[in-house]
Structure 1
Amino acid sequence: MSNFKFKLGAIVALTHSPETGEVIGRAEYTTTENNYLVRYRAGDGRQTEAWWGESAIRAAGEQPSDAAAAYVGEAAFVGEPLKACSPVRIVILDTLGDLNDILSKASPLPTA
């Protein structure tokens, strides 16, 4: 008897990125974790489908673990008028890292 964590049709999030999608397929194996075929919109806007191991996805709305990458959200650089720059997605790969250090090394976006 299989023990799948996610049902077909479940909405899941990728653990290390902000993308969410729908489980459209599942596979179980004798020697490795369950895998799920997820249809989602990639960060560049394309619709795509990919197989992900159970440890690489989580229920949508569930907080990522401390060890996982955290999606900070959309931000504009301080001092730039919001309408003059595009939002930026910031992904923290090391949750113990210093966000201010990362931002201080970033180049400002060109103004329109």
Structure 2
Amino acid sequence: MSKESSVVLGMLAGTAIGATLGVLFAPDKGSKTRERILDEALNAKDKALEEAEYLKDKVLHTIPKKEETLEEEIDRVVSDMSMKGDEAISALEKKLKDLKAKNKKFQKA
């Protein structure tokens, strides 16, 4: 993976994590918070896919001789980013489940 794609991946991951933490610590109703977390996760995934497509187009136009090999590599990166987005959503859903359980305990107390 090139330095540029690693940097983009890092920036996207940082953005997604930062947005998620911001939403988690925002004073809002639980249902609204969960909705915002899901929206942010889906937006981050979409943005990651858009960035991957941008990188794919940029690389394909820059180095036409290795188009087939580069396209395969970029498709792999896009696939990896998609999986990472899915993993982020799963992690957020798990965190939401934990938060719901904690919220139930607080409401009973």
TM-score (norm 2): 0.21
The structure with the greater share of residues assigned to helix is: 2
If asked which structure has higher relative contact order (CA below 8 Å, sep 6+), I would say: 2
Which is richer in strand?
Answer: 1
TM-score, normalised to structure 1's length? 0.21
